[in-house]
């Protein structure tokens, strides 16, 4: 825990002041007690005895229980003037009193001041008292810090944030691109505000809503909108906050959370990333009394157990629904599962409109054009895109965001930061042929997506890039489109082989070959697009648990595995031959495009297609509408 300088000063000043007064009380009191006792010079005890023997001592005052004496004596060297001298007496000097009495020297003994003893006692006690007080102060401050030492007795208490009326600043109007999910959740708000509309016809309020979707699609944002719209007590907590190293803490926090919720019903509980605590039970090897499983058991009981939780609606979010326990997903616990998927074109337009409210856009910018260029982007991706464009605009000292900043921001988000352009060399020419190979094959195959841009400007790990933009939202992909994508991905390697020879091929096609192999294998094993027939030979999702992976058996024989490898090789080889043929037949236009690309470093899709059309027929890209 960090202490501010004000707190340190607040504690240091009293200590210094008290110490000063104690010093004054202990030592300054002696000064007051000695008063006249304070002499300018000191005298040794032996010298004092010499003065006593020569009758120079005129009076003696004893202080400090006989340990100190103030002596008045005459000095012949100073014309017999009387001077006051201080003498420290030894502890055992009984003969001194007798000598003083024999010499008839006035002797006065001053009793010790009791106040000095009290101050001395306080001086001895003040440091322990300040130490205990400081520790108490630190303990009190740390008790307000989550996880601090003061929380030792509160491990079992729920750490959920509670608000009587959650003012998140987010309403349903601020959420776009997930209209179906919004409609489902608006009903939850209506349940809370006007339950009689549903109970009058015998409808039961749902106990739980599970938001499922990829990261960045707006699950947590929807929960904030529900909290902002509902106007009822709202608890929010993350699934990982139930997990502790101590046994029983997670279950205790679940009990405490629902106890507080029942006291404030009707209310909402939002559990973010519920997969942290809701994973399948018994997934490990050998079982065991897993603390996380006990927490899940308690959550299951509280959601729909013997007592029930009337008036409490639980909203949970996860991007891993496949790992959740089946008992958690059944009706009665999570009655509804709302899928929050990546937005379509209309949804992206709505999201961009929301995030563009506080951005200064140039008049020529078209939100629809940006949405068409960003298929597959989630709401978080689109928000980041406009933010990157705004940063680039400020860096370039422009007053408004233009399409140039938008295009650069898309490239940066998708491929990474822009690198230093390559100098004209053999390596740059080879990369140019590689990228033009991708683009020419993609342009001349009818089923392939249209080329948007070809560039030699490095981004991320790529030395050059060829961008393709789908002409529509593709929910279903045909066999022809998959083979077209494989052929287009092999266009770069085919150009290297055809132009420079097989001995000069580079490692630049490594990522392309991984993509090609994956698509071809899925065609054979999942989509039934090979000579093996309409068979699904692999599950759609891999095993996510160690134990489940060890227990699973192979879904096909070794003979089928060999045939799968053969079919994958046949598909890739056929597409590779097609790519080589297209490169060979269009060598003249490829050379011209490479020279232009080296000169300009970037060619947009429209200019690319116009140049290719001067040499050969460019097929028109068709919209594919599947018949269901």
CB 549 within 8 A of CB 543: yes
Catalytic residue among 241, 302, 435, 496: 435
CA triple 364-369-375, angle to 5 deg: 155
Asked if residue 214 and residue 172 are part of one domain, the reply reads yes
435 counts as catalytic = yes
Q: Is 397 left (phi over 0), alpha (psi -120 to 50) or beta?
A: left
Asked if residue 327 and residue 229 are part of one domain, the reply reads yes
Asked if residue 326 and residue 299 are part of one domain, the reply reads yes
Q: Is the pLDDT of residue 439 over 60?
A: yes
Q: Is the pLDDT of residue 625 over 50?
A: no
Return the sign of the alpha-carbon dihedral for residues 224, 228, 229, 230.
Answer: positive
Q: What are phi and psi of 102, to 5 degrees?
A: -65, -35
Rg (CA), the chain: 44
How do residues 240-260 score in pLDDT, each as one tens digit?
777 765 566 778 888 888 888
Cβ partners under 8 Å of residue 509, min gap 6: 434, 490, 492, 493, 496
Q: Which of 59, 73, 63 is CA-nearest to residue 37?
A: 63
Q: Is residue 107 part of a domain?
A: no
CB 309 within 8 A of CB 332: no
Return the sign of the alpha-carbon dihedral for residues 55, 56, 58, 63.
Answer: negative
Q: Which residues pair with 85 in a beta bridge?
A: 41, 71
Question: Which stretch of DSSP H or E encloses residue 588?
Answer: helix 587-600
Asked if residue 577 and residue 470 are part of one domain, the reply reads yes
Q: Is residue 456 part of a domain?
A: yes
Q: Which residues pair with 42 in a beta bridge?
A: 86
* Token pair listed for 180: 């179906």
CB 529 within 8 A of CB 570: no
Q: Which of 616, 611, 568, 346 is CA-nearest to residue 454?
A: 611
Q: Is 334 helix (H, G, I), strand (E, B) or coil?
A: coil
Q: Is 337 helix (H, G, I), strand (E, B) or coil?
A: strand
Per cent of the chain over pLDDT 70 is 77
Asked if residue 320 and residue 179 are part of one domain, the reply reads yes
Number of domains observed in the structure of the chain: 3
157 or 470: which leads in pLDDT: 470
- Give the pLDDT band of residue 4 (cuts 50, 70, 90): low
* Rounded-to-integer distance, Cα 139 and Cα 116, Å: 35
CB 364 within 8 A of CB 335: no
Asked if residue 606 and residue 484 are part of one domain, the reply reads yes
pLDDT of residue 79: 66
State the residue range of the domain holding 277: 161-339
pLDDT of residue 157: 59
How do residues 404-422 score in pLDDT, each as one tens digit?
899 888 888 887 777 777 7
- Supply the angle between the helices 491-500 and 479-489 in degrees, to the nearest 10: 40
Q: Which of 590, 598, 581, 620 is CA-nearest to residue 440?
A: 590
Q: Is residue 476 part of a domain?
A: yes
Q: Is the pLDDT of residue 5 over 80?
A: no
CB 519 within 8 A of CB 527: no
Boundary-marking domain end, from 372, 392, 415: 415
Q: Which of 452, 492, 488, 491 is CA-nearest to residue 470?
A: 452
Cβ partners under 8 Å of residue 459, min gap 6: 411, 412, 415, 416, 417, 418, 419, 465
How do residues 447-471 score in pLDDT, each as one tens digit?
888 888 898 888 877 788 888 887 6
Per cent of the chain over pLDDT 90 is 18
Q: Is residue 580 part of a domain?
A: yes
Q: 3-class secondary structure for 200-228?
A: CCCCCCCCEEEEECCCCCCHHHHHHHHHH
Question: Which stretch of DSSP H or E encloses residue 152?
Answer: none
Strand order in the sheet with 450-455: 465-469, 450-455, 602-604
Q: Is 21 helix (H, G, I), strand (E, B) or coil?
A: helix
Please name the residue that has the structure tokens 């074109």: 345
Asked if residue 473 and residue 441 are part of one domain, the reply reads yes
Q: What are phi and psi of 238, to 5 degrees?
A: -95, 150
CB 306 within 8 A of CB 262: no
Average pLDDT over residues 545-549: 48
Q: Is residue 511 part of a domain?
A: yes
Q: Is the pLDDT of residue 437 over 90?
A: yes
Asked if residue 350 and residue 212 are part of one domain, the reply reads no
572 or 472: which leads in pLDDT: 572
How do residues 595-611 score in pLDDT, each as one tens digit?
999 888 889 888 999 99
Q: Is the pLDDT of residue 550 over 90?
A: no
Average pLDDT over residues 282-303: 72
Please name the residue that has the structure tokens 């909402």: 268
Boundary-marking domain end, from 295, 316, 339: 339
- Give the pLDDT band of residue 330 (cuts 50, 70, 90): confident
Asked if residue 313 and residue 368 are part of one domain, the reply reads no
CB 523 within 8 A of CB 506: no
Mean pLDDT of the chain: 78
Q: Is residue 333 part of a domain?
A: yes
Q: Is the pLDDT of residue 282 over 90?
A: no
Tell me, what CATH number does 271's domain have? 3.40.50.300
Return the sign of the alpha-carbon dihedral for residues 425, 426, 429, 434.
Answer: negative
Alpha carbon 234 to its chain's center: 23
pLDDT of residue 37: 46
Average pLDDT over residues 274-301: 74
Boundary-marking domain end, from 306, 339, 372: 339
* Token pair listed for 603: 């060619």
Asked if residue 569 and residue 460 are part of one domain, the reply reads yes
pLDDT of residue 433: 92
Asked if residue 364 and residue 438 are part of one domain, the reply reads no
Q: 3-class secondary structure for 520-547?
A: HHHHHHCCCCCCCCCCCCCCCCCCCCHH
* Token pair listed for 150: 């003061």
How do residues 175-229 score in pLDDT, each as one tens digit?
888 888 888 888 888 887 787 888 888 888 788 889 998 888 888 888 888 878 8
Tell me, what CATH number does 538's domain have? 1.20.58.760
* Rounded-to-integer distance, Cα 164 and Cα 203, Å: 26
Q: Is residue 154 part of a domain?
A: no
- Buried-exposed string 358-373: b where 16+ CB fall within 10 A, e elsewhere: eeebeeebeeeebbbb
Asked if residue 351 and residue 325 are part of one domain, the reply reads no
Q: 3-class secondary structure for 393-419?
A: HHHCCCCCECHHHHHHHHHHHHHCCEC
Q: Is the pLDDT of residue 544 over 60?
A: no
Q: Is residue 528 part of a domain?
A: yes
Tell me, what CATH number does 409's domain have? 1.10.8.60
Average pLDDT over residues 353-357: 89
- Would you give the DSSP letter of residue 291? H
């Amino acid at each position: 825990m960090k202490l501010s300088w004000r707190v340190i000063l607040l504690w240091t000043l009293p200590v210094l002041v008290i110490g000063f007064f104690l010093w004054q009380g202990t030592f300054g009191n002696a000064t007051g007690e000695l008063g006249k006792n304070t002499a300018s010079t000191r005298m040794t005890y032996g010298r004092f005895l010499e003065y006593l023997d020569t009758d120079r001592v005129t009076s003696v005052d004893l202080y400090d229980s006989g340990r100190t004496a103030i002596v008045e004596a005459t000095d012949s060297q100073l014309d017999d003037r009387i001077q006051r001298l201080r003498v420290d007496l030894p502890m055992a000097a009984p003969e001194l009193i007798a000598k003083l009495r024999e010499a008839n020297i006035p002797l006065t003994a001053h009793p010790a001041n009791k106040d000095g003893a009290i101050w001395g006692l306080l001086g001895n006690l003040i440091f322990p008292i300040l130490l205990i007080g400081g520790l108490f102060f630190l303990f009190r401050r740390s008790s307000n810090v989550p996880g601090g030492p003061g929380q030792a007795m509160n491990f079992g208490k729920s750490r959920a944030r509670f608000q009587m009326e959650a003012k998140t600043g987010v309403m349903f109007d601020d959420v776009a691109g997930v209209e179906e999910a919004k409609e489902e959740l608006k009903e939850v708000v209506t349940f809370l505000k006007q339950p009689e509309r549903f109970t009058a016809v015998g409808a039961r309020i749902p106990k739980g809503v599970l938001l499922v979707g990829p990261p960045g699609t707006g699950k947590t944002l929807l929960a904030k909108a529900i909290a902002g719209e509902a106007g009822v007590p709202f608890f929010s907590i993350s699934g990982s906050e139930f997990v502790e190293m101590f046994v029983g803490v997670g279950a205790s926090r679940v009990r405490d959370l629902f106890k507080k919720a029942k006291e404030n019903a009707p209310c909402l509980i939002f559990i973010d990333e519920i997969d942290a605590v809701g994973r399948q039970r018994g997934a490990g090897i050998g079982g065991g009394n897993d603390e996380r499983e006990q927490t899940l058991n308690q959550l299951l009981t509280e959601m729909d157990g013997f007592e029930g939780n009337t008036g409490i609606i639980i909203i949970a979010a996860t991007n891993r629904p496949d790992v959740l326990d089946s008992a958690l997903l059944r009706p009665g616990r999570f009655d509804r599962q709302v899928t929050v998927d990546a937005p379509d074109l209309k949804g992206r337009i709505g999201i961009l409109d929301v995030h563009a409210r506080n951005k200064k856009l140039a008049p020529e910018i078209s939100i629809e054009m940006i949405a068409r260029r960003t298929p597959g982007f989630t709401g978080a991706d689109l928000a980041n895109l406009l933010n990157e464009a705004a940063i680039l605009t400020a860096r370039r000292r422009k007053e408004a965001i233009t399409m140039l900043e938008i295009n650069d921001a898309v490239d940066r988000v998708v491929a990474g930061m822009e690198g230093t352009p390559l100098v004209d060399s053999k390596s740059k020419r080879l990369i140019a042929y590689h990228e033009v190979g991708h683009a020419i094959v993609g342009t001349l195959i009818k089923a392939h997506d249209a080329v948007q841009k070809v560039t030699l400007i490095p981004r991320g790990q790529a030395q050059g890039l060829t961008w393709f933009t789908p002409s529509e939202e593709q929910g279903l992909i045909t066999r022809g489109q998959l083979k077209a994508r494989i052929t287009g991905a092999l266009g770069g390697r085919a150009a290297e082989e055809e132009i420079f020879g097989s001995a000069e091929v580079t490692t630049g096609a490594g990522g392309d070959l991984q993509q090609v192999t994956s698509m071809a294998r899925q065609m054979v094993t999942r989509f039934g697009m090979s000579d093996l027939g309409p068979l699904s030979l692999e599950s759609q999702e891999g095993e996510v648990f160690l134990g489940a992976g060890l227990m699973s058996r192979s879904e096909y024989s070794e003979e089928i595995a060999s045939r799968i490898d053969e079919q994958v090789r046949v598909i890739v080889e056929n597409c590779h031959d097609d790519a080589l043929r297209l490169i060979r037949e269009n060598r003249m236009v490829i050379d011209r495009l490479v020279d232009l690309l080296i000169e300009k470093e970037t060619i947009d899709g429209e200019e690319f297609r116009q140049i290719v059309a001067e040499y050969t027929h460019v097929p028109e890209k068709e919209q594919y509408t599947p018949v269901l």
